[in-house]
Amino acid sequence: MIYIGIGANLGDREKTLQEATGMLNTNPEIAVIAASAVYETAPIGVVDQPYFLNAVLQVYTSLSARNLLNCLLAIERKFGRLRETRWGPRTLDLDILFYGDTVINRPGLQVPHPHLHERAFVLIPLCDLKPDLKHPVLGQSIQFLTESLGTDLPVQKIEGLNLIIKNKTRRT
């Protein structure tokens, strides 16, 4: 299964996450199967910026990892994403976290995402979906990696926000 991280900290964050999920789900080559809860999280790197909303989507796609990345980047651009400052504020961030158990190390595409094991804002939503998922490089479960971060994490669950768009036929 493929997992995509989704986040935003500029503009109407909730609406952005819902609309971006909808855009993914209306692509005939992508089906959003499940979505984690949404979490509000402190920024990392550049800390003088608004808090993020983050979630993880479980998807099925017939696209290659590179073509999926191109699709994600196109959606980011539609939401006005500018890549000016590393770890800076963003209208939308979409990252391939896992593409099955495939390991990819190519310019512009690293899967699994190279920092996911260090980031509570990715690991906690992944635990919502698949806590026993094994990291194909580290060999540890998402649950274990999450617990390794400790208990004092800057992540707060947002109740009542659902990213799944109803009435989409699932593909398997």
> Given a cut of 80, is residue 34 above it in pLDDT?
yes
**What confidence score (pLDDT) does residue 150 get?**
81
Confirm if 120 and 41 have CB atoms less than 8 A apart: yes
Neighbouring-strand partners of residue 35: 57
**What confidence score (pLDDT) does residue 7 get?**
93
With the C-alpha atoms ordered 157, 38, 136, 59, is the resulting torsion angle positive or negative? positive
Using one digit for the tens of pLDDT, what is the confidence trace for 87-100?
567 889 999 999 99
Using one digit for the tens of pLDDT, what is the confidence trace for 122-152?
999 999 999 999 999 999 999 999 999 887 7
**What confidence score (pLDDT) does residue 134 get?**
95
Does the model's pTM come out above 0.85?
A: yes
Which pLDDT band holds residue 162 (cuts at 50, 70, 90)? confident
**What confidence score (pLDDT) does residue 47 get?**
63
* Residues annotated as part of the active site: 81, 90, 93, 95
Confirm if 1 and 111 have CB atoms less than 8 A apart: no
Question: In whole angstroms, what is the distance from residue 114 CA to residue 105 CA?
Answer: 10
Of the ranges 19-33, 87-101, 155-169, the best mean pLDDT one = 19-33
Of the ranges 43-47, 65-69, 78-82, 117-121, the best mean pLDDT one = 65-69
DSSP class of 147:
H
| 3-state SS assignment for residue 116 | helix
Using one digit for the tens of pLDDT, what is the confidence trace for 38-65?
999 888 776 677 888 999 999 999 999 9
Confirm if 26 and 169 have CB atoms less than 8 A apart: no
Helices (H), the chain: 13-26, 65-78, 120-129, 142-148
DSSP class of 105:
E
Say which CATH class 2-158 falls into.
alpha beta
State the average pLDDT for the chain: 87
Confirm if 21 and 164 have CB atoms less than 8 A apart: yes
